Structure 1
Amino acid sequence: MKKYNIPVEAALEVIGGKWKVVILCHLIKRELRTGQLKKLMPGITQKMLTQQLRELEEDGVVDRVVYNQVPPKVVYKMTDYGWSVKPALDMLCAWGEQHIENNYPDKSEVLIEEEELEKV
């Protein structure tokens, strides 16, 4: 059994890394297919996206739902357990917004508008 020095280590084991929090922030807004996530995250490779989704699924944070149709349809969504991380993600997003406002006079230079993301 793994032992942690402090509880945040357990949290970071599940949501740590460059991409998992970004994936979760997108899935909190709506269920998404892999291709939609890839478009929302142009810097991630398909291999890394698949790996991160599998790990989130293994940790019980994300559900992979396969619809029995042709062609097959697969969507990812938050589990009930996954929703429990939402307050922490909300706080990170709020801090990120404040950081952008403090460091970039014109936030449109560094932040994609919400309307653009909703088109995906």
Structure 2
Amino acid sequence: MNPIPKFCIISKGKMDFIYQKKKILLTEIIMLEANANYTYFHLLNGEKVIISRTMKLFDNLLKDYAFTRIHRSFIINKSHLKSYDAVKECILLSNDLSAMISRRKKRILKYTVDFREILWEN
């Protein structure tokens, strides 16, 4: 039997997990935040998991799911997107988390998100 790679997406029925030392349900991930060579996973239960890998690894792993990179320091789960504040140029997510969005990524996000689902504040 092949060992599970250190970081991979595991699908069991309709649930997808990211595997590190423990399984993290993808729907439980609100956002990923970069800090040098570490990535923080912000989860729905308020937990913050730190992993000693760069965002590039997770950007490649999660690009086929409901995740999108909105800044060099943030990857968000689009299903947890609540609103956009145009003045502060940031996005509000579940659990009152917020993330900055770059100008270039803002244009891309407008084409990938159903705007009827979220509130765009001016």
Q: Same fold (TM over 0.5)?
A: no
* Larger Rg over CA atoms: 1
Higher relative contact order (CA 8 A, sep 6+): 1
**Higher helix proportion (structure 1 or 2):** 1
Q: Relative to total residues, which structure has the larger strand share, 1 or 2?
A: 2
TM-score by length of 2: 0.32
Structure 1 length as normaliser, TM-score? 0.33
